[in-house]
Every structure is written in structure tokens, then in C-alpha cells.
A and B are shown apart, each in its own frame.
Chain A
Amino acid sequence: MITKNTILFFKNSFLGFLLLTLFNLSAQQNQLISGNISDVNSNPIPGVNILEQSNPRNGTVSDFDGNFTISIAPNSTLTFSYVGYETQVVKISTETTLKIILQEDRSSLDEITIVAYGKQKKSSVIAAVTSIDPTELKTASSNLTTALAGRVAGVIAYQRSGEPGRDNAEFFIRGVSTFGYARSPLILIDGIETTSTDLARLQPDDIASFSIMKDATATSLYGARGANGVILVTTKVGKEGVVKVNVRYEKSYSAPTRSLEIADPITYMTLHNEALVTRNALGGRIYSLEKILISKDPNRNKMAYPAVDWFDELLEDYTLNSRFNFNISGGGKIARYYLATTVNTDNGNLKVDPRNNFNNNISFKRISLRSNINVNLTPTTEVALKFNGNFDDYIGPIDGGEATYRKAMQANPVLYPKFYEPDAQFQNSSHVLYGNAGQFGGYLNPYADLMRGYKDESYNNFVATVEVKQDLGFITEGLKARVLANTSRYSFYNLERRYNPFYYSLGNYDFQSDQYTLVALNPNQGTEYLEYNEGNKIITNSTYFEGSISYKKTLNKKHELSGMLIGILRELKYGNAGNLQSSLPYRNIGLSGRFTYGYDDRYFSEFNFGYNGSERFAKSERFGFFPSFGFGWYASNEKFMEPISNTITKLKFKGTYGVVGNDQIGSASDRFFYISQVNLNNGSMGSSFGQEFGTYINGVSIDRYANDQITWEKAKMLNVGVELGLFGVVDIQADYFTEYRSNILMDRAQIPASMGLQAPLRANVGEASSSGFEFTIDYKDSLTDDLFVSARANFSYATSKYEVYEELDYINAGLPWRSRIGLNLSQPFGYIAERLFIDEADIANSPLQTFGDYMAGDIKYKDINNDGVIDINDEVAIGYPTTPEVIYGFGISSSYKKFDLSFFFQGSLNSSFFIDAYNTSPFIDTSGGAIGNNALLSAWANDHWSENDRNLYAAWPRLSDQLIDNNNRDSTWWLRDGSFLRLKSIEFGYSVPDRLASRVNLASARVYITGSNLFTFSKFKLWDVEMGGNGLGYPIQQSANIGVNLNF
């Protein structure tokens, strides 16, 4: 509803605005000018901005054939501007028709790359920076982070959950290169540090540039914060010219890529009975044969003989989402503006009971407002004001969407229905008679859990930035200064409104009369009214100040010099920190600089440094210096390359080396490593005394021992790369990198428990290395006048290794295979499962397994150290790392006349995950808070060891109604290959012909349909393989989108 109203509102006001402008125009004595604009090859150029210089509010745009008409005051001057072309200024005297030929702008063709604290000519950049066209990030998801995988070389990304609002992909620049606390990159939006959640909320429509900083020269300016890589995003600003309005609306259908398959209730009962008998011949059945028999009858009394597919009862097959983005930009000589608003609504696919008058389904509304205003105060002073507000409102079930999926898996399908139809006694009951069992009503009824209330969450982030740029050319040519001040205010709360469900169980059922009676299980505990539970509140504010001066000069047209110094101050404070130490401000201070020298557009060099400190370390360890340097050679600009310059249009070699730090070495609550943290009045560490136990005296606890040596992680990074352009249509970039991370904070592993420490001792003793390469190839060509094709592929490989890791002394203990040193940072460990045990004799002749009882049909492990016992010392590294080593993507975009089609594949290689044996164990209780019996996956029902079918390699071992610890071990039995290739997105669009569009006052219009995650190639079939071990959670979504994009 909001979306529609907003459209109307803007439409109305925009029309009003247009009318006003028209009225103003007609009031003047004007002359009408028309004309045609083309390039040097006489190709018409549509979309050229035409402005009356003295009256910048008067302007127009050339149409599809390059034609325009404008009404102007006599003797005015017109400017013609278009991106990539030199702006032309024409003084109008008497002529009424113009023929304008725009020249290509050489300097603007030299693309600009956004780098740390500034911009650089792309040709002179020697740092490893990937910039991506923001339109590449448009997907059928409203979460930007899900678009990163496979689109950006050097980013390792994967998504584990599809729950609205919780579906951020995890992403790492050049993989994970530390085993310390923070592995995620620093994210800066318009220079302001922010969270991955804020990045996820960003609209591709609003992004001007998106860059990934990967090596030392790119990140060392961020000093102790840059070691995990940096993502720099800038948002659009207004451009001088006519008002541009862009409206995009999308409606999207969203459904799980793959749903779990559950065995039917009859099979469930049969196999649950088998699980009991097969473990204990005297155990008896849990379900009578009569119950099983009657349950097969579709006409049975479903209250007395329930058979519930909880997934069906809790979940809808699909849901509908919508996305709306509106932005308006323009401006004149003095001021320019870019205003944008986004309203996205993502819904979950959870059911709602019509008898509740509240919505417990996930509804995630995100409103984002952005206002970027640039004002020229004087010809040399520019002020930029940026305001950005993100407002998320989440309503969802009390325990969240993921828990709903998990509970559907955990509840018994045949003990009770989701609710009972009232019997005679409870005919007039005004509440829902939720089903349950036992004497306490302590069984898990996920339907009641879902329907009992809802959670209200709100997240607000408001960012205000003011930036002043001063050109100091009057002191010396090329000198500029800039100051920026920012504040971000963040608030979050959640609360719950819930009732306590009334539970009933079947008292007795008379088969003859088909009458049953119900028993109220918790008549005194249930409530019919909602109760209120206050939840978390988080309030933070941060302030940031940045000042810089820069200088740039070209000497003798050959020597290009530049220098820049930046100082920053940053402070973050928590309003409800919980304890004194956390309440103290988090601060950073830093001074950084960049110095570049280029010779003749052929040789480039660069020196960068960051010198900064953070409050969390002892005085002597507070400041660090992080230098880096690099060299580049633009070989194709050499004389000797000229003969082949049509073939090799670009050839550039570059290399960088430097040191960067990471000061996020403990959780946010790990402050001040150099002082101990104690609680001198701890209510949970005391004792009570006295005849009537009335005197409780609080106690004392130690949460951290002081260590004044602790400091940041240090990363030494090397990058070598080559850029190659062929025939002007193919662009290839390849980079190889190595990184050595030292000073990684870790717990001392060899401190015995007999030391009696309450908190781990920690020190900067860990070291890790990583290396890899990235490769991008771009192809862009107009094959005919009507057919344009571009193709893009990229490939990122990153691997890592523990170099120094304090662990138990496995080498001396004769257990070298338990050591992590030399292995990947996310290398899984586990047992080698050989097969299932054949029989008792097989067990007797095999090494003793020490994980509780086991029988024939349970997993037999390999005795690595040949000591006749299978225990923790037989664990070895198995499989690939859990973080994929390879992420790749490729796709093609093409347009033919007014149609365009693009598709994009994304894949991942070299990763492993464990099937969650505990949570998929059928019949056992994994629900924690209540009593449950896990559902039976069809895969296990169809392929398990049984006494009649002693398949030693069956997918599931011998059934059990109890957790069999022996089988519930990380082992090769549960290890699966995480690699996949999926059609990440496909899009088909049609642009309305401009003539048609202009008739309704549109500059352009496009309708499109998009699909995402439509199909996946993988050997793994139980759930979406990208979810890895989290397969029982909220599934990753596939979606189909229909959208319209209008430009005024």
C-alpha cells in the first residue's frame, strides 16, 4: 500500500513541478531552436543534455535520433554535454536550426578509478583494485551482498540462509587470511565506515561506483583497519543538467530453491518402531499396529489419528515481494542534487492462522532515503551534504523464520494434530485448542509456536555527512584541501507480543461413535491475551572526521607528481554497553599519505603509508606504521609496441608490496587487553548462608587477564598483475597475490586446566599465509548496428594455511595428523568412516570405538594410530576447506534493437561441508526447549541399514530413537562436496522506443523479467548445496521478477 501511495505522491508532485516549469517558460518572449546532434561518424547521439547557460533550469535532452527542440531567450548560450564527449558551448544569435557534432572526450575515456580517499586515472592505478559497474549488482534479490559472488574477481562469497532480513551472504576479499576474530573487509560507503548490513541494504540504482581494494597499496592508507581488504562504495551525486527522474518498480515471486523431502507419516511410524526394536529387541513399539493401520485410512478421524506434515502446516509454497526505487537528480551551476528513496518489502513464506488478528509471517520492510546535495559556495569551494537514512521494520515469528523451519523438522508428526477441533466439553472455548502430549504439554507443537505471537523489530540508521572541498590553486596550482565530518546514529529494538498457547491432548476416543474427549494440559498456564516481552535495544553513535590536503602537478608534460595527506579521527559509542569497559568510546586516529610519480604515461610508482592507533592497546603498542609501495609499467604506451597497437591495445604490468594491519582482534566486548577485566560484584559467583538461607553474598569473577603486549595483526602483502587489452574489445586482468599474516591473537593452547584460570590467556602468536590468483576477462563489441554483445568471466582462487598455530603438542605426542599447521584455515577435521559394521563379530574384531554404544549397522571408523581404540586421536583432516577456494562466474549480456537478454552463471569449487547428522537423526529429540521427535528425511527412509537389508554403505546407519553418539561424529560419512554451478540470474528486457516514450513525456522506459537461482548443478540433492551444513535452516530463495524502469 505504501508503495502505491508513494508513487502517486511523487507522480503528482512531479507533474506539478513540470507544470510550473512550463508556465514559467511560456511567460517569456522566446525563440524556438531545433537541431540534430551526432558524433564524428554522423551517428546520432540520443540523451545529450542541452541547457540554456544563463537559465540552467531550462533544458532538454536529445531524442533517439539526436533531434531536439528548445525554446530559449534571445541571444543565449547553449551547452551540449554528454558523458564521454567534450562539452560544446554554442552562442545563439539568429539561427533556428543547429547541426552539432560532439567530439569524443579523450580525457574522460581515460576512466577514473575510485581509490582510498580519492580517485585516480585508471591507467595510472597500480594497486589491485576491482571496480564493478553497479548495474552488474542488480539482481532479483533485495540484498546486495548476494550479488557479489562470481561478479567481482577477488571476492569469495557464499550465502547460507534465505530468510528475509537474515540473508546476507558472507564475503571475504581474497578469501579468509586470518583465524583471528574479524575476517570481514572494511566497508566504506561515501568514505564512512559501515556494516555489511548497510551494504546489503544499498540500492544498485544509487551506486555511482563500487570498488574492491585488495592489495597493500590499495589498503595501507587504512593502516590497522585494512588488512582484510576494503570495499569502497560511492553514491550518485547530482549532475548539472535537466531534471532526471528514474523510477523502478519490481514485483517478485520467491520460493525455496529446494525443499527438504520428508517421509510420509506411515513410513515414519513404521521406521520409528523399527528404530526401537532394532536397538533393543525387548523395547517394544511406540506406535501400535492398529494406529498405523488406521492412519492409512484417509477417512479416519484425523484428531484421533493425526498425521501432520509440519512443513505443509507451517509454510506456504511461495511468497511475493516488491521493490520500489525512485530517484531524482539534476541541478545547475551552483547546486546539484541527487534524491532517492527506496521501499522494499520482503515477505517470508510462513503461514498465518486466520483466528489470530496479527501477522506472524515475516514481513521485512526497508525504506531508505538518500539526499546528496553539492553546492558551490565560491568558484573554488564546494560543499557536499549527504543524508542517508535506512529504516527497517521487521515483523516475524517469535523465534524467527529459521527456527520455524527447524521446528518443523523437530516435531513428531503423529502424536497430535496442530490443533484439535473442539469436543463436546470445549465446544465454547474461545481459544485455539493446540495439540500436545505428555503430562506437561511439554511437547513441541511448532504450529502453536509459530502462531503464538510475533516479534517487532526496528532498525534505524541515519548518516549525515558534510564535506567541504577547497581548491587552493591560488596558493599553488594543483593544491586542494578537503574536510569531512560525519555522524551516524544507529538504533535497534525488538519486542515480542505473545500469548501462551493452551494445549490439549486426546483423552479417549470411541471408535464406534467416532467421539473423542480432550484433556486440557495447561489450563492454568495458557493465556488468551497477548503478553508483552521487552527485548534488546542497541543504540550507538559514531562520529568521524577526516581532513586532507592533496597536490598534483605535471612537469614538462612528462613527470606526473602527486601527494596527499589525510588525517582521521573516529569515535564509536554504545548507549547500552552493559558494562563500564564497553561503555568507553571506541576510537581510532590516523594519518595516511599517498605519493605517486609517473613518467610519460609509461612508468608509474606509488608510495603509501598509514600511521594509526586505536584505544584498545597499551600505550606502547598503540600506534603502528603501515607502508606500501608499487611500480607499474604501461608497456603498450612504449614506442616499440606501436606496430601492434591495434592488436594489443593495452598491456600493463604492475607489482605492489606492503604491510597492512587489522585491529579487530577480539570481539567488540574485548576491550583493553592491557588491563584485566573483573566483576567485583558478580551475582552468579556468590554463595548463600544462614539458617534460612537468606543471606546471599555476591562473588568476584575474572573475565580477562591483563596482557600489555597485545597488539594488532600484521599482513605483509604482495601483488603482481597484468592488464591486457586485445583488439579494443577484449580486456583481460590477472593478478597473483600472497599474504603473510602474523600477530594473530589466539588462546594459549598449552595452558593446563590445573592452572585454574577463569579466562583464556591470549597472545599475538598466530601466523597464517594465503595466496591465490584472480582472472577477469571482458568482451564488449557491437557486432552490427543493432546487436551489441558483452561477455564477462571471472575466476578467483584463494587458499590459506596455518603457519604458526599454538595447539597441543601433537608432534611430540606422536599424533602429527591432529596438527593444523600447514592446513587451510577452514580445514574440517573428522574421522575416516570405512563402512557400517557387518555384525557383532565384525565389531569384536575391530578397534574399540569410544563414543558410546554401537551395534552392527553403525559406522566403523579407521584406526589412524593403530592403537586399537578409536578416539579423538584418530581425527584427521578430511575434505576441502569449508570456505570455498574457488568462486567463479561468467555471463553474457546482449541487446538487439530494443530487446536485451543477459544471463549469468556462478559457481564455487573446492569446498566441503558436513551433513548435520545430529539434527537430521530421525526420531531423536533435538528441540531443546520442548520434547520432539525429529522428522524422517526421505533420503534416510529410502536408504538406511536394516536387519533385512544389511547395506554396508547405506546412506543412513542403523536406525535409533536415541542419538547414537558413535554415528554423530564429524566423519567422511557425512562429508559432502560443496561445489556447484548455478544460473544465478537471467534477464530479458524490452525498451520502449523513444518516440513512443517521449509521447508520454518519458525519456526512456524499459520492462523486464528477471529470474534468479533458477537452477543449480550439484551432486548434492538434500537441500540447496550453497547452504552447506545449514541445510535445515531457512532455504535460499529462487525468484522471478517482473519490473519496469521509467526515466523522465
Chain B
Amino acid sequence: MTLDQATRVKGGIGQSTIRPDGIPKLTGDFAFVNDLFAEGMLHAATRRSPHAKARIVSIDIAPALAMAGVHTVITQEDVPGDPLFGLEDRDQPVFAHDEINYWGEPIAVVAADDRETARRAAAAIEIEFDVLEPLTDPEEAERQGSVFRHMKIRNGDQDLHGEVVVEGYYETAMQDQAPLGTEAGLAVPDGEGGIDLYGPSQWVHADHEQVYPCLGLAPEQVRVHPSGLGGAFGSREDMSLQIHICLLAQITGRPVKMEYDRSESFTGHVHRHPSRMWYRHEADREGNLVRVEAKIILDGGAFMSTTNAVMANASYFAVGPYRVPSVQVDGYGVKTNNPTCGAMRGFGAVQSCFGYESQMDRLAEKLGMDPVGLRLKNALAPGDRIPTTGQLIETALPAAECLEQVRLMPLPPPLDSDDPRHLPGGTGLTTPRSAVKRGVGYALGIKNLEFSEGFDDYAEASVVLTPAGAEVHTSAVECGQGLMVVCQQIARSALGMEHVAFVHDNTSDMGSAGSTSASRQTQMTGGAVLEAARGLKAEVLKTHGGDDLNDEGVWRDGSLVATMDEVCANGPVTFHTQYRHPPTEPPNETGQGNIHADFAVAAHRAVVDVDPELGLVRVVQIDTAQDVGKALNPQSVIGQVEGGIMQGVGLATMEEMVVDRGRILNANFTDYLLPTFLDAPNVEAILIEQEGSWGPFGAKGVGEPPTISSTPAIVAAIADAVGKHFNRVPVRPQDITGVL
């Protein structure tokens, strides 16, 4: 089937097909994990550490057990199986038992008749602590060797230097994914010693791998079901409450529900790594980059989570989408007693992008060059090698085109309104129009797609023919991004059929689809669906001697030779596949190798209005051009672009977890500020579709690039408006005014 034929199937690829879960979400009927209910269910609550570092001297659960309505209280000694869990490494105890390593670390959980009782009982547990001094300075952690991983990258002649030198130090604060749906889960005993888990997971098989060992059960005794999630953005790759509620269900024999409130959600999931970055860029007088040196410290907090991979990513992309003959990068993922950090959309590439794009602007200034011109001059293209790993770029990579397209997009009209909603400070009436300065800034970013470094990254799926139509089966998690509809579209186009249903399978009925992260599911689960659909069609055509397939059945030379009922006479016809992307490899001792499966680039231009005297910012417009390969559902892609940009706006201007000696001070929506409707800039997006990716119909993942270069573009625009540089995000009023 040609691409042209594929796009002509109703509801097939290339169309903004309506998502199948849209109506229930709009009517309030959609079952989020938070809404789940089971007859006879108990409610659970967690007791957490108020200290960032401590020794636990004693735990007395008797006062909690004594309360009416409490069914059980469990601690680490009640864990029957493996005491540890973790995504990259099993380094975290299910419950803290003799030592505390971060503020909020779980110590015990309670199951009770109702949530109120569970919470009061959890608070009634008596715990004696010997409070210790936490390690909270990431640079001190590096000095002490408290390091999860050191990534050393050396590429090219290390003695090459450029005449024009710019050095800089940069910081990015701890951002939180803040998905609107908090963590919630329901664990249901099956009456035979096993458990069905409905939890807040981005990867049900990874949850499964960690849950059954801790419960001391056989793999088939635990089934994890993809469930309704209110967003994720990386916060749900690591587990939060899953083992806790499964244990409670196992011990009580009752279904157990737990739901975090917002404050516990902030506390109970990982955050984006805060970073400290030291950069040195060297170029020749014509603006050709010669050498980049970078040292990056990411604070991973108390447990490993995905720090090794995030830090590696930050290091691999420390230089950005530019040709640089001589590269030296040292990345450190350090271990401290700060809150644990892990995956968040962008996964290390966000932090680096702020570093290298800030450097590019300073370099342009020193060279007397236009910032866009400097970037275009050095931008990577297919046939170049990634400057850090040396990997040959064999996919599409329209870095220069993205930037050129963005530059051509019309700028918004000058500020001509006194409506406070169009002024910095908004309806707070802080700023007269005369006090406003406008600024424009550009940034270019790059991200890998899929998992890397030789990870065996695959996705399983089945496509099934039934008399009622086709079904796509996968255990891939939908967290709002539009996975369900794109799978349907791919199957429709591949089969030539309109009636395609999406079916979610649990971990017993389907193999792993891998994580819903790393911008990978459209390519991976989509790729699996495409392969399975093609395989199914080929098999069915061969079986019935046909040359075409549609909803009615199998056709040959324009005549129907087998109806769908006949095709399914012996039951549904299934084709299952385990789909892999082109292999990657682990790095050698200097970070070289074919590390990554695919790449995507994006450019952003931000227009901001600033009140320099008060340091208030309004992001007016963001224009972007993004490398998407093939937009399988243009509306969904735009949704990812606009949503990702808003998270970039947040990091640039207002989002920051305030951590004081290891404790989070703003674990709530009053003080962790998410952009509102009035903070949203106008967004114009160009989707650049170029062939070259191995993804289904040439599609690339699109979720992360919008979040990567949007932040530095905004900061560059603020810098343009006020005439000074900034070295940290978010940029605060005191940074802009210089009044600390």
C-alpha cells in the first residue's frame, strides 16, 4: 500500500481522527484510576518521613492498629519477597526501615475502612528518629564521590582550540511534571493468592517486574492493567503506591484503594533533575564552532531512579544540534538527600539545551554575529555525525530548515493595547504600556527518540480480525497523548479497514510495549501495530487467495471472495508481533558509539513583553517548526507541540520546586505555579515532514522536542528585552531587576 492509499482510508493516517476516549472524558464517564471502586474496598494512607536524613530508632504501629476501622498497618518487615525495587537499579526499599534518605520517604502504610481513618491512623504511628545532617549540595556530593554515574565523553582532537572563547555557568531548577491526575491505584486480590493491579503507571510491565518479586509471588500471579491516567510526563515511570497497595491487598485479602492528594503527589513522585552546568565554547573568527567543554551535574536525590539515563542524555546532547570537531563532556548524576529525581519530558536534554543555547547567544554576541546566523552556520544535517557520540545521522534532521522556517514566520504586531490582559502583570495592573519592552529570542534543540545505549527496546502488539471488525491489542499506556487513536489509524491504513477498535491488554495477556516515554510509543507501539496489521493482511489474503481486504472481507479482481464472517469462521484471526527498532549500542569509554535509535529537532522563537522595572514577563507568542517525519494525526501532534511548549513556558518563568535542606516547601498548587489560560502565549507551529525515519509511515516521536528549546528561546527573548543575560531558569522578577 502506498502512502497515498494509506491516507485515503477513512480514519487512517494523516487525518485528525477523533480519539475514542474523548466522549467519556467529556461526559465525566471515563474511569481514571482515581475513580475506581471495588465492592468491599479498603482505603490506604502512607506515613512519610519528615526528615531528609535520619536513622529510624523505633517504629510503634500499635496506636494505629488500635484505632477503630483500621485493618492493618505494614512496614518493611511485612514485605514477604524482595525488599528493594527500582527502575534502573533495585536500590530503594519498599519502606524505609533503619534509615531515611529523603524527605517524604514512605515508612508505613495503613489500610482502613475509609480514607479519613487511614490518614489519622497513619499519623498516629509513633516513630522515633535520630535526625542526621543531610547531604544537599550537589557539588559537595560530586566532590565526595556520591555519584550514581559519571559520563565521560571525548570526541575529536582534544588539542583543537578556537580563538573566540565564551565561558558560562548555568542552573536549572527542579521542575515537577505536575500531571493533573494525582497518583491513585486499586489492588484487587483474585482469591487465589494473586493480585490485579490498576495503577498510575507509564509502563505496566516494568511495574509488574517490580511488584511480583516484592510480593513473593510468581509472575503470572500478578496482572497489571493499563489504567486511566490524568497525565504523566515522566512522573509515573517510577513506582509510587503500587507495591504498597498490593501488599495491603495481599495481607487483608480485600481490594485496597489509595489516592494521593496534590501535596502527597508532589512528594511521592520523582521530579526533573535540577542542574548545574559549566560551559566553555570556542569558535573561530568566522563563527565555526571548534570546541565545546561541558561539565554537568544533575542532582538525582536519594535513589537512582532513572538518573543514569537522564544524565547520559544530558551529556550526549550537551553540545546541541551543532557540528563541533572537539568535544569534552563530563556528566555527573549525583546522589544526595534531596528529593529523588527521574524522568520528566525532555529527560536531560532540557537542562543541556538551556546551557548550550545560552552559550550560543553569548558567542554570537562576542563574534558580532546574528544569533540565528551562528546557529545556521553550525547546524547538523543528515550525513554529519553527532558531535558527542560520533554517530552518523542517517535519519531526517532538518535542523537548519526548522530555524529558517521559524525566522520566516510573521512576528506578532507591536503592543498596542492597554488591556491589562495583554500586559505583563496582567489584571494585577502593575504595568502601564509605556513601561513595556519587547524582546525576541531563538533556540534550537535536539532529542533522541526511544531508549538508548543498547537497551533492548521493543513493543509487542496484536492485530485481530473478528466478524465485527479489527482490533488492536496492546498494553501500551495511554496518558492522554493520543496513543489509542494513532494505533487505530495505523491499523486502518494498513488493513484498508475502517472498523478498528482499540483494546487494552494486561501484562498476562500481552507482552511489554515498553514505556510511554522517550517520545517512543507512536514509533514503537505504532510500529508494532503496523507490522502486525501488515502481517495479518498478508496472511488473510494468502489464506483466501485474495488481493485486497476491507471491512466486508477479502476481495480478488474486484469480487468479494470471503466475507468477514467466513474469514473468522474458526474464530478471530490474530497476528502478534514483537517490534524492535534498529539496534543501538552502549558507549565505549569515551562515550562513542551508535547510541541512539532516532533523533528529532525543533526550533522555537519566543516574543516576550517585559516590565524591566518590576521584572514581570508576559510570553506573547511562540513560533515553532518541528521535525515530525510524518504527522499521523496532525491535531494530536499540535496538541503535543502546544502542551509541551507550555511546560517550557513554565520552566522559563514560574515553575520551581523550592527545596530547603532537602524539604520541599511548595508541594501544592498555590505555590508551585502552573501557567494558566492567561499566561498562555499564542502558538503558531509548522510541522516539517521529511522522509528518512524508520518509524511507521516515516513518523517520528513528537512529545519532547517542544519542551526542550522553548525554555531557552523565552530566556533569550527576555535577555533581548532587558539587555542582560540570565544564567538560571526559571527567571524570577528579582533576576530581571537585579534586586535580590
B is a partner of A: no
| B binding-site residues for A, Cβ under 8 Å | none
